[in-house]
Amino acid sequence: MSKENAHPITACLLICCPDRPGIVAGVSQFLYQLGANILDASQHSTDPREGLFFMRMEFQLDLLDKPALEAAFQQQVATPLQMEWKIDYSDRRMRMAIMVSAYDHCLLELLWRWKSGELPVDIPLVISNHSLLEKECTAMEIPFHYLPVTNATKAVQEDAAIRLLEEHQIDFTVLARYMQILSPQFVSRYPQRIINIHHSFLPAFAGARPYLNAYTRGVKLIGATAHYVTNELDEGPIIEQDVARVSHKHTVEDLVMLGRDIERQVLTRAVKAHVNNRVILHGNKTIVF
């Protein structure tokens, strides 16, 4: 193709590899030879016992052939430096599904951020095991799918949800207070592609009723945690957390009200980090640039 057919796009490269001299130089030289303009670069080296290097590099390039660029990078840079890497491009928006039950605060926060343009994703659908929030979604012209579930129908309901996610080519799913435990079969289909908000500052008070448990223990801090979903309940890699101070004067209801504000903010920040390719997963923890 001729240069006239090129169109500038922004790309984001995430890298994990053994730490050694010359990594930044190797990547930068490769991009320089392509005529790329590096917009942002961040890196992190672990302690010598782990000996790992992580990097996020954002660059702009008149790109003609993505497969050719990726093949060249693999051959010239990634293989010699033993890299695990991924690259995403700005000319394609991520497609995000939302799964929610009856609580509306996290769902409405995400929809408002999306509507205002602050969350640059497409939202092809919302899935819920309750019908209560359908009006809120249809008001924003987002298809709402009511999939009720009982213990006896859980497998059938999850199969229906998976079909919807596949049909709409969903990149990742957000559990916006979806009060169902996903099966291992469901989770295994979408590694590092399901984000959950838990109404507690994990690892404290995992599981159900964390605000009541926090009140009973007389804690002085409550919080919320956004994490990737794994088969271990509430133990997936943490993306974002926040807390608020509380005292003996706060009732359980007060803690719930305060907690919902924190949940909204934490979940939004986690989703933004994922969408902006600022998260690298390493084992059961994350590096968030």
Q: How confident is the model at residue 1 (pLDDT cuts 50, 70, 90)?
A: very low
What value does the mean pLDDT take over residues 140-151? 96
Euclidean distance between CA atoms 273 and 289, whole angstroms: 8
**Domain shared by 192 and 127, yes or no:** yes
**Domain shared by 237 and 98, yes or no:** yes
Q: How confident is the model at residue 207 (pLDDT cuts 50, 70, 90)?
A: low
Q: How confident is the model at residue 2 (pLDDT cuts 50, 70, 90)?
A: very low
Query: pTM here?
Result: 0.91
- 202: containing domain: 94-288
Judged against a pLDDT cut of 70, whether residue 206 lies above it is answered with: no
**Domain shared by 192 and 222, yes or no:** yes
What domain count does the chain have? 2
CATH number of the domain encompassing residue 201: 3.40.50.170
Return phi, psi of residue 186, to 5°: -65, -50
Euclidean distance between CA atoms 159 and 44, whole angstroms: 40
Q: Which residue has the tokens 């990737």?
A: 228
**Domain shared by 108 and 212, yes or no:** yes
Which two three-digit tokens encode residue 211?
A: 């605000």
Strand order in the sheet with 172-175: 144-146, 121-128, 94-100, 172-175, 194-198, 221-228, 238-245
pLDDT tens digits, residue range 220-265? Answer: 888 899 999 999 888 899 999 999 898 888 888 888 888 899 999 9
Residues carrying an active site annotation: 234
Judged against a pLDDT cut of 50, whether residue 34 lies above it is answered with: yes
pLDDT tens digits, residue range 79-123? Answer: 999 999 999 998 899 999 999 999 999 999 999 999 999 999 999
